Amino acid sequence: MNKIKENFLSIFYAVLAALFIRSFLYEPFSIPSGSMYPNLMVGDYLFVSKFSYGFSKHSLPLSLPVIPGRVFYDEPERGDIVVFKTPEDNKTDYIKRLIGLPGDKISIKSNKIFVNGLQINREFVQDEKYKEFEVDRYKETLNTKKTYEVYEFKRKSTLINTNDFPEITVQEDHFFVLGDNRDNSQDSRFIGTIPKKNLVGRAEIVFLSFDTKIGSFLKFWTWIPALRKDRFFTSLLPQKEE
């Protein structure tokens, strides 16, 4: 009987430790869509720091309403890749790049992003292909000297205008986010700004990447060829120019 009790306690403490780490330190996430190419790929597995912006109910499993508001809050920085609960349902996890802070004036004119009247600098890198689409790859540099790269489709959809966005002022305790794959992303242009209370954490590192076109977790013999070894332990924090 004592042995059963010891085993039960061991499992209980292990589960408790796992829940603590997941809720307050780091949580693993997987990338299911292409909205953050070229920086995040479908099949990437990453660690998100839960403590970067403080804690809210969304830090906990099932968003249990135990934490009132947001505690130990530290404001995100422009350029961070943030995970948040979409304001459309307050349940689904989205991951995007933070462009606008509270009080910022944000607009997009002919694919150029303006923050408080100043254009985010962009430089052409090269032509690439995303799925069947021809894309231009650009490097964007923020006024903080942080840099990251984005995709722009060469051919635009005639149904949705992603080239332009009228100027808005980001309201208090909200943030404006964009996908790095600019013409293939549901972001603040479509779902609105993100409330502070919906922030989950900051994406920090890709620890594993698995090409789902090549392999399947149900077929162990495909695991090795499907691993994108060059993406292991890739930092997701924006680089800073000297």
HEC profile of 107-138: EEECCEEEECCEECEEEEEEEEEECCEEEEEE
Q: Which residues are within 8 A (CB) of 191 and not within 5 positions of it... i.e. 6 or more apart?
A: 86, 87, 88, 94
For residues 109, 115, 121, 124, the Cα torsion angle rounded to the nearest 10 degrees is -40
pTM: 0.92
**What token pair was written down for 184?**
């293939």
Go through the domains of the chain in sequence order and give each one's CATH number: 2-240 (2.10.109.10)
pLDDT digits (tens, 9 = 90+) for 95-115: 999 999 999 999 999 999 999
State residue 155's pLDDT score: 85
Average pLDDT of span 148-167: 88
Per annotation, catalytic residue among 50, 57, 85, 96: 96
CA–CA distance from 8 to each of 12, 17, 18, 22, 43 (Å)? 6, 14, 15, 21, 35
State residue 81's pLDDT score: 97
pLDDT band at 7 (very low <50, low <70, confident <90, very high): low
pLDDT band at 184 (very low <50, low <70, confident <90, very high): very high
Which of the pair, 122 or 6, is modelled with greater confidence? 122
Please state, in angstroms and rounded to a whole number, the distance separating the CA atoms of residues 160 and 175.
22
Which DSSP string corresponds to 136-157? Answer: EEEEEE-TTSEEEEEEEESS--
pLDDT digits (tens, 9 = 90+) for 110-128: 999 999 999 999 999 999 9
153, pLDDT greater than 80: yes
Please state, in angstroms and rounded to a whole number, the distance separating the CA atoms of residues 217 and 223.
7
Q: Is-catalytic flag, 85?
A: no
Q: Is-catalytic flag, 35?
A: yes
Q: Which residues are within 8 A (CB) of 57 and not within 5 positions of it... i.e. 6 or more apart?
A: 63, 64, 65, 66, 67, 197
**3-state class of 168 per DSSP?**
strand
Q: What percent of the chain clears pLDDT 70, i.e. is strictly above it? A: 96
Based on C-alpha coordinates, what's the Rg of the chain? 20
Question: What single-letter DSSP state applies at residue 230?
Answer: G
CA–CA distance from 19 to each of 14, 25, 40, 80, 85 (Å)? 9, 10, 26, 25, 19
Q: Whole-number mean pLDDT of the chain?
A: 91
Per annotation, catalytic residue among 23, 35, 59, 209: 35
What are residue 35's phi and psi, to 5 degrees? -70, -15
